[in-house]
């Protein structure tokens, strides 16, 4: 696939651009099924490059969250597509009308890492939902490439691989979400929306187990980590606590009764003062220093 968009981007035989009304010839008998599907425009023909995704606009409406799926198994992609585009079982009509949960739409699909990276570059989805075991280019390599290119694409890993090494490696590469494939429907959709809004998600059953390993992934520091927190103001420490608890910027703004812009400024100050690369390292530091304890009360003092 070419990296540059065109009026008729090259796609594997049988692949169809959603909403185009045209379909390329199906593969001959015995040939592989289509490897990728593209919906460049998103719903109603509108470009979907709003970040942070799912945040209400001036009219109070939440723009849809555009998702790119990457998994080598067609049935798995079909299952994810169905789960993500089907309203949560617990959602009420009133909540939907109020725009309390952003709609999730599928911008494209890929069966291997090369196509996943190409589509991420061309479509700039809000979230890439990816398996780690991808042919042609491993999922970790895809995550690193997206992170190093600073694409405005957030990454949620959904996989059967739940070993400590793989989780730590995914977080280190730049993923901000990690779920197992047996995650419930509501947990999956909530994770997509949280990651799209700038938050971080790790399946609860995995978090406690890998926390120690994540701590080991922190860069070496001079002096104690607790002393490093002294550089933060009381409000910045409070924001760090909420970040460590997994809240997105919009949720922190609601809790603290401030604007989302103010929260983003505080988060930026925290990362700069503590010399951290991203929110994931901030979460690890908060637990490492005892500012937040697994299952314990919040301690913003």
> Which CATH number characterizes residue 177's domain?
3.40.50.2300
pLDDT of residue 22: 39
Query: Which of 173, 191, 213 lies at the terminal end of a domain, its last residue?
Result: 213
- Does one domain contain both 81 and 129? yes
* Same-domain status, 82 and 136: yes
In which residue ranges of the chain is pLDDT below 50? 1-34, 40-51, 89-99, 221-223, 297-301
- Regarding whether 63 and 185 lie in a shared domain, the answer is yes
- 278 and 261 in one domain? yes
Question: 88 and 124, same structural domain?
Answer: yes
Question: Do 239 and 136 lie in a common domain?
Answer: no
Are residues 164 and 243 located together in one domain of the fold? Answer: no
Are 227 and 190 found together in one domain? Answer: no
Residue 172: what pLDDT?
A: 82
61 and 174 inside one domain: yes
- Which pLDDT score is estimated for 198? 86
Which of 213, 236, 254 lies at the terminal end of a domain, its last residue?
213
Q: Among positive and negative, which fits the CA dihedral 212, 147, 117, 122?
A: positive
Give the other-Cβ count within 10 Å of 299's Cβ: 12
Alpha helices in 98-184 (DSSP H): 113-123, 139-148, 164-173
57 plus 199 within the same structural domain:
yes
Examine residue 131 and state whether it is found in any structural domain, yes or no: yes
Is the CA virtual torsion 156, 136, 164, 275 positive or negative? negative
At 154, list the tokens.
Answer: 């957030």
Which letter does DSSP use for residue 28 in this model? P
- Does any domain span residue 264? yes
Residue 276 lies in a domain: yes
Which pLDDT does position 277 carry in this prediction? Answer: 80
Q: Over the stretch 273-294, which tens digit does the pLDDT of each residue have?
A: 888 888 878 888 888 787 877 6
DSSP 8-state class, residue 135: S
Domain that holds residue 264: 221-288
The answer to whether residues 195 and 127 touch, using CB atoms and an 8 Å cutoff, is yes
Question: What total number of domains does the chain contain?
Answer: 2
Domain finish residue from 188, 213, 238: 213
pLDDT attached to residue 230: 85
Residue 9 covered by a domain? no
Same domain, 233 and 193: no
Would residue 281 count as lying in a domain? yes
Q: What is the pLDDT of residues 22-77, one digit of tens each?
A: 343 443 433 344 456 766 444 433 344 444 555 555 555 678 999 999 999 999 99
Q: Is 261 exposed, middle or buried (0-12, 13-18, 19+ CB in 10 A)?
A: exposed
- Backbone angles phi and psi of 17, in degrees to 5: -80, 115
- Domain of 235, CATH number, reads 1.10.10.10
**Residue-level pLDDT at 26:** 40
> Cβ(114)–Cβ(146) under 8 Å?
no
Give the contacts of 250 (CB within 8 A, at least 6 positions apart): 52, 55, 197, 198, 260
Q: How far is CA 136 from the centre of its chain?
A: 22
Judge if 107 and 205 occupy the same domain.
yes
Per the structure block, which two tokens stand in for 1?
């696939």
In a domain, 14, yes or no: no
């Amino acid at each position: 696939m070419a990296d540059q968009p065109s009026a008729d981007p090259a796609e594997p035989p049988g692949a169809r651009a959603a909403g185009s009304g045209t379909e390329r010839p199906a593969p001959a008998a015995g040939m592989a099924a289509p490897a990728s599907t593209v919906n460049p425009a998103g719903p109603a023909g509108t470009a979907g490059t709003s970040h942070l995704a799912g945040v209400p606009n001036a009219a109070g409406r939440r723009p849809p969250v555009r998702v790119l799926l990457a998994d080598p198994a067609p049935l798995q992609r079909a299952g994810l597509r169905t789960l993500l585009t089907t309203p949560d079982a617990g959602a009420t009509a009133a909540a939907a009308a109020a725009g309390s949960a952003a709609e999730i739409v599928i911008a494209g699909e890929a069966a291997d890492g090369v196509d996943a990276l190409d589509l991420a570059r061309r479509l700039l989805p809000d979230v890439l939902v990816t398996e780690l075991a991808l042919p042609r280019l491993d999922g970790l390599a895809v995550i690193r490439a997206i992170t190093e290119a600073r694409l405005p694409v957030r990454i949620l890993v959904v996989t059967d691989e739940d070993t400590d090494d793989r989780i730590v490696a995914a977080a280190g590469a730049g993923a901000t979400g990690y779920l197992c494939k047996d995650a419930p429907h509501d947990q999956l959709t909530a994770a997509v929306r949280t990651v799209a809004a700038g938050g971080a998600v790790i399946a609860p059953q995995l978090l406690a187990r890998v926390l120690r390993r994540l701590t080991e992934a922190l860069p070496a520091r001079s002096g104690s980590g607790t002393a490093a927190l002294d550089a933060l103001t009381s409000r910045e420490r409070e924001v760090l606590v909420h970040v460590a608890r997994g809240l997105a910027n919009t949720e922190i703004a609601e809790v603290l009764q401030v604007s989302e812009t103010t929260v983003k400024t505080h988060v930026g100050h925290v990362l700069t003062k503590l010399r951290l690369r991203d929110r994931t390292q901030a979460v690890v530091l908060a637990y490492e220093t005892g500012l937040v304890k697994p299952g314990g009360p919040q301690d913003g003092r």
